[in-house]
Amino acid sequence: MLLFRNFSLSLNEGEIKAIVGPSGVGKTTLFELILGYRKPYSGSIRSKPFSQVFQDPYSSFHPTYTIRQQILEVTTMDGYEALLMQMGLEESLLDSLPHKLSGGQLQRCSILRSLLMKPKLLLLDEPTSALDNLNQLDIMKLIIQNLEGMGVLLITHDGDLARWCADEIIKLG
């Protein structure tokens, strides 16, 4: 089954693009293509250094290592205190195992890790679905405040979220 034909996407520094559409139209497949988990039948995909936030935060962390250990495996902790405060997270959570945190806390830790990596491209697959509405808004504001030096590709079912934060919305399906 061919999901995309003659599809082109470019993303500039400081820009947020949202991919919106119902389940089954290929949003996650597009994400997997960009990540290199799948190969295109034809054409090419080029991307800058990236980090990603998946919809399910529990699958994003190894269960036997603390959050801090897992952040330090991929980046430094430079600037983490300010981000923790902006995310409403206590520093002690970083020394916890993933299963000790709520889904919302763990998702914010996933976003923290991704931002600390200082990527050129931040891939977000339903990053706020585990958060309540107030935390959703705060986290998206935080991502917008940290756009310097990176572009964001947001995959979401939430059209309102996309309209609120995205510079461009690409509708699939």
Tell me the H-state helices in the chain: 27-35, 67-72, 80-87, 103-116, 133-145, 159-165
Amino acid at position 124, single letter: L
Amino acid at position 43, single letter: G
Q: How far apart are CA 164 and CA 110, in angstroms?
A: 22
Backbone angles phi, psi at 88, to 5 degrees: 70, 35
Q: What residues does each domain of the chain span?
A: 16-40+47-171
Q: With 60 as the cut, is the pLDDT of residue 134 above it?
A: yes
On whether the pTM is more than 0.85, the answer is yes
Instruction: Give tens-digit pLDDT for 78-105.
Output: 999 999 999 989 999 999 999 999 999 9
Query: Any residues with CB less than 8 A from the CB of 47 and at least 6 apart, and which?
Result: 34, 121
* Residue of 101, 143, 125 whose CA lies nearest to 53: 125
Instruction: Give tens-digit pLDDT for 143-152.
Output: 999 999 999 9
Contacts of residues 127-132 at CB distance under 8 Å and 24 or more positions apart, as own/partner, are 127/53, 127/55, 127/154, 128/158, 128/161, 129/55, 130/55, 130/56, 130/57, 130/103, 130/104, 130/106, 131/104, 131/107, 132/104
User: What SS3 class is residue 152?
Assistant: strand
Q: Report the top-level CATH class of 16-40+47-171.
A: alpha beta
Q: With 90 as the cut, is the pLDDT of residue 46 above it?
A: no
Instruction: Give tens-digit pLDDT for 56-82.
Output: 889 999 999 999 999 999 999 999 999
Amino acid at position 111, single letter: I
